[in-house]
Structure 1
Amino acid sequence: MAVITYPRRRQAAAAGGVRFRIEGLLTFLITSAAALGLISLTLATLVTTQGYEVRRLQAEQARWTEQTFRLETEISSLQALDRVERLYLFYAPRILGPAGPAAFPDPVPETVAAGWRLEEVRPLGDDVLLVLDRVRPEPAAAAPPA
């Protein structure tokens, strides 16, 4: 049976090579962990930023909805007082949202004949402008003297 012996230099060099490999592996693992931590931090920051952006847009949508409701209330009150003589209605067939406010209170009238006369219909690109004038009832004629 043959025995292989290595000189001490070779043994020391082999042990140093193993140490070098372990140190290289340890350096690689630490660098990889730091890179993964940095990527995780970057993704968490992006998600947080997007969350704030969504909240800001929701607040802006709520503000616009409130302003639209106030405007509709003012329009309704002015129409109820017979102060509006002419309406300019722009019909823009675009969906603005699933819960958008109704343009007219329910029930929607079948015609505009109840107090309004259609004066003009004008196309404006993809939209249409309707001009309506208020129709005032004529005063009752005085009864002829008998």
Structure 2
Amino acid sequence: MRREFTKRIAAGMLALAGGLGALAAVPAQAAEQVKVVYHLLEGNNQAVRALGNIRNHLRAAPEDRIVVVAHGEGIRFLIQGARDRDGKPFDEAVAALARQGVEFRVCRNTLTAHDIPVDQLLPQASLVPSGVAEIARLQAKEGFVYLRP
């Protein structure tokens, strides 16, 4: 009986060692993509913060998917010729982030309410019917995490 118990323990330890060896042979998996929606509605000062946050985000997690949704005063940085409080244009920063895969979406309701023609938007910006509805959709239907810089 004691000999049978010892055999079972030995067999179990061999199985465990084999399993651990197999785990060591499995290559590390790539980082899982996180989907994030950045919500902008406060104007150019918030945009400056957001663009910096997004650059830092992509340095740490370049595989993440980032969508910026702007409405209200938050669309101002996506209008051609927009500049920050130091006079630096936004178009270069937006273009650089778009090349890294960041999507910029603008609320059509805001454009209509502020009488801003669509052709005044930067080319990287796409229109959505409603900014708030787009944020809700991204969270509820596509599993995006919400950030408001």
* Fold similarity call, TM over 0.5: no
TM-score, normalised on structure 1? 0.30
